[in-house]
Amino acid sequence: MTTLRTLLTATSALCWLSTAHATELEVTHWWTSGGEAAAVAELAKAFDSKTEHSWKDGAIAGSGNTARPVMISRITGGDPMAATQFNHGRQAEELVEAGLMRDLTEIAAAEGWKDIVNPPSLLDACTLDGKIYCAPINIHSWQWLWLSDAAYKTAGVPVPTNWSEFVAAAPALTEAGIVPMAMGQQGWQQKGAFDVLMIALLPNDIYLKVYDEKDAEVAAGPDVAKIFEAVDQARSMAANSNVQDWNQATNMLITGKAGGQIMGDWAQGEFAVAGKVAGTDYHCLPGLGEKNVLTTGGDAFYFPVLDDPDQTAAQGELAALMLSPEVQVAFNLKKGSLPVRGDVDLSSANDCMQKGLAVLKSAEPLPGGDQLITQDTTRQIEDLMVEFFADTSLTAAAAQERFAEIIGDAD
C-alpha cells in the first residue's frame, strides 16, 4: 500500500512538472466494424504512448447516419467531446460557421500541413475563410468493385475485370445459387453505389454538372438515364441480398455467398481481418474497372471549442499526432484507406491499396459527394434509393424524374 502511495505521489509530482497536465480526451467516431476498430486502436495506442494524455474511446455504433446526430446534439447542446470524426466536406459546415469548432490554423502552420497533405483538396475541404478547422486523417474512395474469387470459381466463370463483364457474369452466378451482387439494404450504401456508377460510367463533367452545379436538366437527361438503367440492373442482381450492414454484405463475399459488392475501400479492412489476400482470395477494381478515377472523400477530425486549457492543449497534440507519418501508416494499413500525406512509405500496403495510390498519382481526383451536396440532399437521394431498391414497381424513369427534382431543389 505504501509503495503504491509513493508511486502515485511520484507520478502526480511528475505530472505537475510537465507544462501541460495529463488529461483524458474523449474522441467520438463511428468506426465499429472489425477492421475499423483495429484502426482506431492504433490511434488510441499512439496517443496513449506518445503523449502523456489518454484516449477515451467514444465509439457510437451504427453508421454515420446514427452517429452524427448524437455528435451534433452533444456539440450544440453544450456537452462537446474533445474530438470527433466527420467526413470531409459539408457535414460540419454549420457547426464551424457557428463558431463551435476550434480553429486549427496555428497547428496546421506549425506542422506544415499545407505542404504535406496530398491531394491538397483534402485540406481545402477543412478550410473556411482561410482558416483550417479539421485534421484530415485518411482518404477514402467509394469507387471500388470488390469481387469474391471463391464465388466465381464455384460458378465456373472468370473473375470480371470491369462492370459490364460483372453484369454479364451475373446469370451464371445466379444459376450456381450465388447472389451476384451483395448490397446492404441501407440508404447510404445504395446511394453510394448509385454515385459510383455515375462517376465510373459517365464522363466527369456530367457528375460535376449534376452534383456541383445542381443542373436538373442534366440530371433528367439521357446520360443519367443510363445510370438509372445500371442501377436497375444492380437492383435485380442484389434482389436476394437480405443483409443490412455493409460489413455483413462484405462478409457474403468473404464466404463466397455473393459475387461482388460496390463499396468504398474500407471494405478492404474486413478482408484483411478475415485473413484474405488481395489478388488471390479477392479482387478489387478501382473506378469499377471502367475508368481511372477516384474521389477523395474521407474522414477528418474536428475539435470542438473547449473551456479547459489542459484539454485544449491536448487537442492540439492529438491533431498533430494524427498527421504524423507513423500514425498515418499504422492507422491506414489497418483501415484499408490511403494516407493523407504523399511522403510516407507504404511499401507494406497490399495490392489494392497500391492500385489506389497509383490512381491518385495518375488522375486528378474528383471531389466526393459529401463535399458537394448537403446532408439534406444526401438524405433525400438516400430515401429515393432505399425505395427504388425495395420496390421493383418503381421504374428507372420514374426514379430519375424524382432524382432530377431533388437536384433542382438542392443548394
When binding is defined by CB under 8 A, the residue of 185, 248, 312, 324 that contacts another protein is: 185
Composition of the chain by helix, strand, coil, percent to 5? 55, 15, 30
Q: Please list the residues that pair with 84 across neighbouring strands.
A: 28, 302
Question: Which residue lies nearer to another protein by CB, 213 or 391?
Answer: 391
Strands (E), 88-227: 127-128, 131-132, 134-136, 144-148, 179-181
Judged by CB under 8 A, the stretch of 40-48, 61-69, 273-281, 300-308 that binds another protein is: 61-69
> Is 400 near another protein (CB under 8 A)?
no
> Is 65 near another protein (CB under 8 A)?
yes
**Dihedral of CA 92/94/98/104: which sign?**
positive
| Of 71, 117, 113, the residue nearest 91 (C-alpha) | 71
Give yes or no for a contact between 252 and 259, defined as CB atoms under 8 angstroms apart. Answer: no
When binding is defined by CB under 8 A, the residue of 9, 54, 73, 255 that contacts another protein is: 73
> Is 242 near another protein (CB under 8 A)?
yes
Give yes or no for a contact between 54 and 24, defined as CB atoms under 8 angstroms apart. Answer: yes
Judged by CB under 8 A, the stretch of 27-35, 108-116, 157-165, 373-381 that binds another protein is: 373-381
> Is 118 near another protein (CB under 8 A)?
no
> Is 76 near another protein (CB under 8 A)?
yes
When binding is defined by CB under 8 A, the residue of 244, 255, 292, 354 that contacts another protein is: 244
DSSP state of 238: T
Give yes or no for a contact between 303 and 83, defined as CB atoms under 8 angstroms apart. Answer: yes
> Is 45 near another protein (CB under 8 A)?
no
Question: Which residue lies nearer to another protein by CB, 161 or 248?
Answer: 248
When binding is defined by CB under 8 A, the residue of 375, 396, 400, 403 that contacts another protein is: 375
When binding is defined by CB under 8 A, the residue of 84, 87, 91, 241 that contacts another protein is: 91
Alpha-carbon distance 18 to 352, whole Å? 44
Cβ atoms within 10 Å of 11's Cβ, excluding its own: 11
When binding is defined by CB under 8 A, the residue of 98, 109, 305, 397 that contacts another protein is: 98
Residues that bind another protein (CB under 8 A): 65, 68-69, 72-73, 76, 91, 93-95, 98, 185-186, 242, 244, 374-376, 378-380, 383, 386-391, 402, 405, 409
